[in-house]
Amino acid sequence: MWWVSWRQHRVQVMIALVVMAVVALAVLLFQLVLVSRLHALGCTVLTDPSECNSRAAMDAFDENTWHLLRAVLVATPIVLGVFLGAPLFPREFDQRTEVFALTQSVGRRRWWTVKVTVVGAPLVLGLLGLGFGTQWCDGTTWFTARGAMDDGTFQVRSIMPATFGLLALAVAVTAGVVVRSLVGSLVAGLIVAAGVVVLIAFPLRSHLLPTSREITPVDAAAASPTTMPDPVGPYDPGSLYLASGLLDSNGDPISLNAISALCDPSMPPLPEGNPDQQDMDSYNDKYNKAWTQCQRDNGITRNYVDYVPAAMLWPMRGLVTGICVLLAALFLAAGAFRLRAAPRSSR
Amino acid sequence: MTDTLVDSSPLRVVEVGQRYGRKWALRGCSFELRPGAVTALVGPNGAGKSTLMAAAAGLLRPTQGRIEVQGEVVTASPSHPDLGYLAQDKPLYRQYRVREMLEIGRHLNARWDAAHADALVDAANLDRDQRVGTLSGGQRTRLALALVLARRPRVLLLDEPLADLDPLARLEVQQTLMTEVVDTGMTVLMSSHILGEIAELCEDLLVMVGGSITLSGVIDTVLAQHRVLVGPGTGPDGLDFLPEGSVVEVQRAARQTTVLVDRPVGPLPIGWSSSDPTLEEIVVAYLRGGGQGTGR
Amino acid sequence: MIEFRIDRRAGLPTYLQIVQQTRQALLLGRLRVGDQLPTAREVVASTGINPNTVLKAYRELDREGLVETRVGAGTFVIAAPGRAVAAQESEAGEALGAWLRQAKASGLDRAEVEALTKAWIEDIYRGER
């Protein structure tokens, strides 16, 4: 059975591996170009932000290409998962070859399992390579190393591409079993897989773990530090920024609209007639002082930043992976159930 | 009750029913194949015959009843190792070459007689490098048959095996099949519409109407037992001289009544004569719904 | 070695065609006493008919005393249809030919003659297969 399945799907698997290799190569090339540019500028320790942060160095980092590559890295597991999973069964239903396959010595369950594994194992392994390779490449410069929890970085490093690829594969396989036509399965599989994966990978993952809140007094933020503090909490580029704002006297976040509602009435009126620049400057000064006073009077004296600490990276990865694996199992089970020995009225 | 250690019945179908939505394709279908015989399965076009064979091959689970192959109840795929099945469209992987299909057969089967498969493919003069999709209908049938026979089945189910074949291909497939029967003594069930085919190839007969079997028996016996009686036009009581349950079908015209009975009926009243029906007459009568107690 | 040719469109059952052709071959001297008839497998391989049909034909020939099946060896011719039988057949054939000429002369067409003949055969050979 393994030989037969490999023979059937080897071209597809090869194509997928080539695609992954090409993407990996693109990521590698970007890093090499960046590294050589930085070296040309005289930077030596590329991983230290204070060592290599001149204007020229900032320009050397091509942000647009960087974002494009990130998008490709996010899309790759989804597209490959659907490409490998969706045609798996429609191609058999098309020619009714499942009748041939199931009337030899192979049982339905074995046939099904081997097919999914023959395309699934190379996909997962390849994506693991891609994920860890990306992580290693990213680590070579501080530009690319920071922000482990950021959108566009969290989803493409370490085990995450493999996780999303597995889920996309499971969705697409089930789409193939349910929809049965090749084109239909590809379309349905792509839509559902993309939808499910993106939902989990982006909004859902941010809200899985307990959020930390850092509260600082409003006035303290006005002081400008002479040295950069050691990044900790919300200032750690490895943590995931969620939201920030002001807290009211009860300690609850209060929106700017609400503050406006409170304070607008006590703001100084606009100058009459045709004010000149000096008049406007003095007006703005009075306005700011009045605003700050109003906030103070209403007990709005604290800033907050909600974030998921950098230390939660692996718990987040673990939870997301757990959810994806569970969903993948459910989808595959549904597909297997649909494929059981039940009569189909169309022959 | 005798306990047989080895159940010799190659295929036994017990009260099998199959429902598609609200329609029953099979209902109360029961029969048993005679070991070593080639049995014809005749019936009107529809899901019944194909559904039954697919169920015996483990491709679908009947709504009701059970099927036994060599005494073992058929549950689901894989097919029983002693059972070979060839669907009507002889599905094969069209994009592969002949030699690759043979490889696939070898890998998918525990019991595989590669030498036998090779011999059958050579006898059919198939080019091993040719893609299956480009083979003619007859060649595809012979390849599919070679693949089934390489499993060395004891029971072979063929769904309209000779349909869509040109006369030469048909002859060659018949030769291959019958030679295999001589050599192995296997039991064959084949569905067909063509009575000429049936008379040549089959020893036993099953007629399926409305999803159940209305006639089953050895063809020679069926021919020997049935009679066509022709007599004057009569009323409903005019057939009282016939034994209970012996009437298969009655056709009444103004001045003539024709009756098909399934057993010899002793001395006939004046005006009645008896003759031997052809196989076609018998089968057609049953296909028209005869033999279900509708008589008189 | 005799080769059987099966005419699928003929009304005659297959096994009878084999019996018929064997008898013909014996009459014409193409088969002689001691010759072996083709094995069931050989007949099946060349004609594609059910092996049982061949066995049925050979049993019929055995019943008529023309052949004998020896276990493990094959089926062999043990007697040619006797001269007497041949003579009888040719006598009956002559009488049949004369009657047919008469029927044709009196205006009966082929279909009528066939129907008439069949009805008489049914009557006289009733119950025989």
Do B60 and A343 count as a contact with CB atoms less than 8 A apart?
A: yes
- The identity of residue A182, as a single letter, is L
Instruction: With cut-offs at 50, 70 and 90, classify the pLDDT of residue A58.
Output: confident
Give B106→chain A minimum CA distance, Å: 10
Strand ranges inside C30-112, DSSP E: 67-70, 74-77
Joined together, the tokens standing for residue A190 give 């792509």
3-state helix, strand, coil in chain A (%, to 5): 65, 5, 25
Closest-CA residue to B140 (of B117, B124, B151, B156)? B124
How much is the ipTM here? 0.85
Is it the case that chain C and chain A have 3 or more CB pairs lying under 8 Å apart? Answer: no
* CB-CB under 8 Å, C6 with B203: no
Mutate to test the interface with B, among A9, A91, A105, A110 (most CBs of B within 10 A): A105
Q: Is the pLDDT of residue B174 over 90?
A: yes
Residue A266 and residue A292 in contact, taking contact as beta carbons nearer than 8 Å: no
Distance CA A213, CA A299 (A): 19
Residues of B in contact with C40 (CB under 8 A): 182
Q: Whole-angstrom Cα distance, residue A167 to residue A187?
A: 16
* φ, ψ dihedrals at A231, nearest 5°: -60, 125
- Reply yes or no on whether the pLDDT at A343 is more than 70: no
Residues 6+ apart with CB under 8 A from A300: A218, A246, A247, A248, A249, A254, A259
Q: Do C45 and B224 touch (CB under 8 A)?
A: no
Contact indicator for C31, C81 with CB cutoff of 8 Å: no
pLDDT average, residue stretch B233-243: 80
Cβ-based neighbours of B127, under 8 Å, separated by 6 or more:
B98
Mean pLDDT to the nearest integer, A314-332: 95
- Read off the pLDDT of residues A109-121 as tens digits, 9 standing for 90 and up: 899 999 999 999 9
Closest to A222 (Cα-Cα) out of A301, A306, A285, A287: A301
Between chains, do C50 and B203 touch, taking CB under 8 Å as contact? yes
Backbone torsions φ then ψ of B94, nearest 5 degrees:
-65, -30
Spatial CA neighbour of A167 closest among A194, A206, A207, A129: A194
Rounded to the nearest 10 degrees, how much is the dihedral formed by the CA atoms of A21, A22, A24, A26? 160
A261 pLDDT tier (thresholds 50, 70, 90): confident
Those residues with Cβ within 8 angstroms of residue A63's Cβ, 6 or more apart along the chain or in another chain: none
Give me B8's structure tokens: 């010799």
What's this model's pTM, rounded to 2 decimal places?
0.82
Contact of B296 with B239, CB cutoff 8 Å: yes
Q: How are beta strands B155-159 and B83-86 bridged, if at all? A: parallel
Residue of B19, B73, B77 to mutate, interface with A, max A Cβ within 10 Å: B77
Q: Do A103 and B79 touch (CB under 8 A)?
A: yes
Provide the CATH topology of domain B11-217: Rossmann fold (3.40.50)
Q: What's the average model confidence in pLDDT over B204-216? A: 92
Strand ranges inside A182-329, DSSP E: 212-217, 240-247, 253-254, 302-308
Query: Within 13 Å of residue A181, how many CA atoms lie on the same side as its CB?
Result: 4
pLDDT at B249 exceeding the cut of 60: yes
Q: What is the DSSP string of A65-110?
A: HHHHHHHHHHHHHHHHHHHHHTTTTHHHHHHTHHHHHHTTT--HHH
Is residue A279 packed enough to be buried (19+ CB in 10 Å), middle (13-18) or exposed (0-12)?
middle
**Phi and psi angles of residue B76, each rounded to the nearest 5 degrees, phi first:** -150, 180
Residue A220 in this model has a pLDDT that exceeds 60: no
Residues 195-234 on B with a CB inside 8 Å of C are 196, 199-203, 220, 223-224
The answer to which of A36-40, A48-52, A147-151, C72-76 has the lowest mean pLDDT is: A48-52
CA–CA separation, A164 and A76 (whole Å): 10
Q: How many CA atoms lie within 13 A of A20 on its CB side?
A: 29
The residue-averaged pLDDT of A29-48 equals: 86
Q: Residue range B18-45: average pLDDT?
A: 91
Cα(B284)–Cα(B291) distance, rounded to whole angstroms? 11
- Nearest Cα residue to B88 out of B191, B186, B181, B188: B191
> How many helices and strands (H and E) does chain A possess?
14, 4
Average pLDDT over residues A58-80: 92
Name, in order, each residue with C-beta under 8 angstroms of B14's C-beta and a sequence gap of 6 or more: B30, B65, B66, B67, B68
pLDDT number for residue B1: 44
Task: Say if residue C86 is exposed, middle or buried (CB neighbours under 10 Å; 0-12, 13-18, 19+).
Answer: middle
Task: Find which of B51, B104, B140 to mutate to test the A interface (most A CBs within 10 Å of its CB).
Answer: B104
In angstroms, rounded to a whole number, what is the distance separating the alpha carbons of residues A152 and A289? 41
Q: What is the pLDDT of residue C86?
A: 61
Give the span between the Cα atoms of A16 and A24, in whole angstroms: 12
Cβ–Cβ gap A100/B111 under 8 Å: no
